[in-house]
Structure 1
Amino acid sequence: MSQPIVIIGSGFASYQLVKTIRRQDSQQAITVITADSGDDYAKPDLSHVFTKGQSAEDLIKMSADEFAKSHDITLLRHSRVESIDAAQKTLRCNGETIVYGQLVLATGAKAFVPPIDGDAAERIITLNGLEEYRGAQAELAKAKSVLVIGAGLIGSEIAMDLASADRHVILTDRAETLLPGLLPGFISSQLFQSLGNQGVKLELGTLVEQLQQGGEHISVRLRNGHEYFVDAVVCAAGLKPNIQLALEAGLKTNRGIVVDRQLRTSTADIFALGDCAEIEGHLLPFLQPILMSANALAKTLLGQDSDVTLPPMMVKVKTPHLPIQLSGNTSRADANWQMNANSEGMTARAFDEEKKLIGFVVTGGHMKQAFSLLRELPPRI
């Protein structure tokens, strides 16, 4: 019998890979090692837990034991891999040696928290996974006011959801606009207005300098001199790929774990998938590229080398008061934009100097335009 495929991590990338392998091969031995509970859940649902009044348990689609039994895998929960010996094709976990035939690093990414002074900095909450939400849900359930650090995709979604759940919300970012890496200014300003109409206090172009305990509250001081009192602080300032294990194993790393188009690392029989993987210089944290990468990797692991080919992909901004979908290069400074707007929403197309479509953004009632525009875009990788 062949040695098992060992996967480190139990997030969307890992479990999608397991599902895809099982559709093609019911006999291949698979071992999943995770530092978490191993329960199967949809991470994007974390952006809407407040309006839906959901607990961490409500988000679980299948318990770890159920998932392991259903897909016939060995699942080591609450376990950490201590080291990888690529030459011997072994790893150390829980003080034991585990042999692998092929190893997949699906170690994900951790939430980035900027350095902030003050004795309440340790109270900063991150919501980058089920375990983090489980640990913070009681505090967030009773909080009436929340500071959200980071006005990117996740921060803006969480801020809107909190406001919709009748929390007083302050949203801050060092950037001058919302979602600066995704949205052109004229769309970002619409989202700014939508959040403002909900009562969200927007503090952009500044930094959180200090968080101090103030009785039952947290005293917030911003660099622009403004001060607030809140009950909780949530940080959604970005993600940093978890590359330490790969680095210690001698694999090539950059921002993420460097892989080729077949998701192979610099070392034979070791692959990387998901938020931790850097494919030809790209970090691709959205669900669709991870899904397509898992589909290609499953074939490769089962003996049919398969390149990852990514078509244009849609990004959905889950802000119900201003629904937004986009694709392509929507943050290019020299893009020429053509806009069609009415009372229902907007369709904005971005063109390059050769008048070729390079991206688009649709809002509100114009969502139906998205998929026809998507077909006009060139492949991403």
Structure 2
Amino acid sequence: MHPIIIVGTGLAGYNLAKAFRKQDQDTPLVMITADDGRNYSKPMLSTGFSKGKSADELAMAEAATMATELNATILTHTDVQSIDPQAHQLKADDRVLMYSKLVLATGAAPIRLSLEGDATDAVFSINDLTDYGRFRAALPEQAHVAIMGAGLIGCEFANDLHAGGYRTTVIAPSSQVMPGLLPTEAADSVRSALDALGVSFRLGRAATGVFRAEEGVRLALDNGDSVSADIVISAVGLRPRTRLAEEAGLAVTKGIVVNRLLQTSHPDVFAMGDCAEVDGHVLLYVMPLMACARALAQTLAGDPTEVCYGPMPVTVKTPACPVVTAPPAVGVRGKWVLEQGDAGIKALYQDGDTLHGYALTGETVREKLSLNRRLSPVLA
């Protein structure tokens, strides 16, 4: 019997394997990863600095431990070069492996800005545990960290690094923090709270280059100004990893196209997590990933199960200003209705009495459960 092969040992790959083993303890299972295969929780990467955690301390289990727990073979430091869906095989580090079912759980890769200058090696993306460890090793004590990007990840790192004793400056071309996730008033509340901590902002500006300076680096901005720092984080967004699928002839648009069973355009190849476009949705968050892991585990165990997405709120880890948001779908008709008080901001995106989304800050985050009950499911 050929094994089920899962490509990727991140949050998607390991949670799928765990859910599958609850249904099926015996089918051969192989997992392939380009890194060391340690199990960790990716959301914890943006809480590690305030807790003083090293990469090793964020890791929950080594690959060998996971292999035993999952009754699986885990191939670490292994690159998958190509997939042949018709032959049910893949090529990995010049080995050909056969599979019965294949799952692509390859995640999303950081978007790389095209920057001028001789100090681009001082620019780090933190997208996995290896990235975190590399950045930690390069981070000077009491450093000034420039963060390119004012989205969810940029704001989380700004808050966490500041709590860990580092100075931070956030640089982004947007006029507000977390555009696309928060209405302006809620975004301003988050920025004000981070401002109060001492986080600096250069919004409405884009970095064009990174140059070596007498001490640290100098970020050139598009208006001719510059920001001095010791090291730089790029948090400008993620893009689903689709190369393997595309080169194998599978359907790809924004992500690897899958149906509600998480099948690609070849019935024995599946995709889930940040690399997948599920019925038109690319949602790079934990809740949809977990829903996919549960559904796909049932399907792989012989019980075809379509994934359902209920309300999918996003919790932003900015303790200076707690945030929970369920952004409305693009194109949905409605308008933001705001309530602002000492407890924080409650913003509801409504069309009449129908609730399509919300954003909560401060103490109002306690209302998320009651609001979730009013929201329509993302995928019923």
TM over 0.5: yes
Asked whether the equivalents of residues 332 and 356 of structure 2 are also in contact (C-alpha less than 8 Å), the reply is: no
Mapped to 1, the partners of 2:222 and 2:100 lie a distance apart of 53
Letter in 2 for 1:322: C
Letter in 2 for 1:378: S
Mapped to 1, the partners of 2:330 and 2:146 lie a distance apart of 26
Mapped to 2, the partners of 1:256 and 1:331 lie a distance apart of 17
CA RMSD of aligned residues (A): 1.5
Q: TM-score, with normalisation over the residues of structure 2?
A: 0.96
How far did 1:62 drift?
Answer: 1.2
Q: Identify which range, 333-342 or 364-373, moves more after superposition.
A: 333-342
Q: Which runs of 5+ in 2 are unaligned?
A: none
Residue 364 of structure 1: aligned partner: 362
Mapped to 1, the partners of 2:224 and 2:160 lie a distance apart of 27
Match of 1:45, SS?
helix
How far did 1:103 drift?
Answer: 0.3
How far did 1:227 drift?
Answer: 1.5
How far did 1:91 drift?
Answer: 1.0
Residue 377 of structure 2: aligned partner: 379
Residue 219 of structure 1: aligned partner: 218
Mapped to 1, the partners of 2:357 and 2:128 lie a distance apart of 30
Asked whether the equivalents of residues 183 and 331 of structure 1 are also in contact (C-alpha less than 8 Å), the reply is: no
Asked whether the equivalents of residues 181 and 327 of structure 2 are also in contact (C-alpha less than 8 Å), the reply is: no
Q: TM-score, with normalisation over the residues of structure 1?
A: 0.96
Distance 1:342 1:159, change over 3 A: same
How far did 1:328 drift?
Answer: 4.2
Asked whether the equivalents of residues 183 and 336 of structure 2 are also in contact (C-alpha less than 8 Å), the reply is: no
Deviations 1:82-107 (A, max 9, x none): 11111111111122111100000011
Mapped to 1, the partners of 2:331 and 2:167 lie a distance apart of 34
Correspondences of 1:186-335 after superposition (within 5 Å): 186-329=185-328, 335=334
Structure 1 segments, 4+ long, off by >4 Å, are 330-334
How far did 1:165 drift?
Answer: 2.1
Distance 1:169 1:338, change over 3 A: same
Match of 2:201, SS?
strand
Q: Identify which range, 151-160 or 299-308, moves more after superposition.
A: 299-308
Letter in 1 for 2:367: Q
How far did 1:175 drift?
Answer: 1.0
Mapped to 1, the partners of 2:119 and 2:365 lie a distance apart of 42
Mapped to 2, the partners of 1:328 and 1:217 lie a distance apart of 38
Match of 1:52, SS?
coil
How far did 1:368 drift?
Answer: 1.8
Mapped to 2, the partners of 1:22 and 1:350 lie a distance apart of 40
Letter in 1 for 2:17: V
Mapped to 2, the partners of 1:88 and 1:138 lie a distance apart of 43
Distance 1:234 1:191, change over 3 A: same
Correspondences of 1:5-154 after superposition (within 5 Å): 5-142=4-141, 144-154=143-153
Mapped to 2, the partners of 1:15 and 1:99 lie a distance apart of 20
How far did 1:287 drift?
Answer: 0.5
How far did 1:141 drift?
Answer: 4.7
Match of 1:162, SS?
helix
How far did 1:333 drift?
Answer: 9.2
Deviations 1:344-377 (A, max 9, x none): 223222202x431111122222222110110100
Asked whether the equivalents of residues 328 and 377 of structure 1 are also in contact (C-alpha less than 8 Å), the reply is: no
Letter in 2 for 1:172: I
Correspondences of 1:145-184 after superposition (within 5 Å): 145-184=144-183
How far did 1:225 drift?
Answer: 2.4
Q: Identify which range, 287-296 or 191-200, moves more after superposition.
A: 191-200
Asked whether the equivalents of residues 311 and 380 of structure 1 are also in contact (C-alpha less than 8 Å), the reply is: yes
In percent, how many aligned pairs have the same letter? 37
Mapped to 1, the partners of 2:198 and 2:47 lie a distance apart of 18
Asked whether the equivalents of residues 184 and 330 of structure 1 are also in contact (C-alpha less than 8 Å), the reply is: no
Asked whether the equivalents of residues 117 and 210 of structure 1 are also in contact (C-alpha less than 8 Å), the reply is: yes
How far did 1:130 drift?
Answer: 0.3
Q: Which runs of 5+ in 1 are unaligned?
A: none
Asked whether the equivalents of residues 219 and 227 of structure 1 are also in contact (C-alpha less than 8 Å), the reply is: yes
How far did 1:334 drift?
Answer: 6.3
Letter in 1 for 2:78: S
How far did 1:4 drift?
Answer: 0.8
Asked whether the equivalents of residues 142 and 167 of structure 2 are also in contact (C-alpha less than 8 Å), the reply is: no
Residue 336 of structure 1: aligned partner: 335
Q: Identify which range, 326-335 or 7-16, moves more after superposition.
A: 326-335
Mapped to 2, the partners of 1:36 and 1:171 lie a distance apart of 30
Asked whether the equivalents of residues 180 and 327 of structure 2 are also in contact (C-alpha less than 8 Å), the reply is: no
Letter in 2 for 1:92: K
Match of 1:294, SS?
helix
Match of 1:183, SS?
coil
Asked whether the equivalents of residues 212 and 220 of structure 1 are also in contact (C-alpha less than 8 Å), the reply is: yes
Distance 1:334 1:223, change over 3 A: farther
Asked whether the equivalents of residues 160 and 319 of structure 1 are also in contact (C-alpha less than 8 Å), the reply is: yes
Number of residue pairs matched by the alignment = 379
Mapped to 2, the partners of 1:140 and 1:146 lie a distance apart of 9
Letter in 2 for 1:63: E
Deviations 1:309-340 (A, max 9, x none): 10011210110010011124188796433333
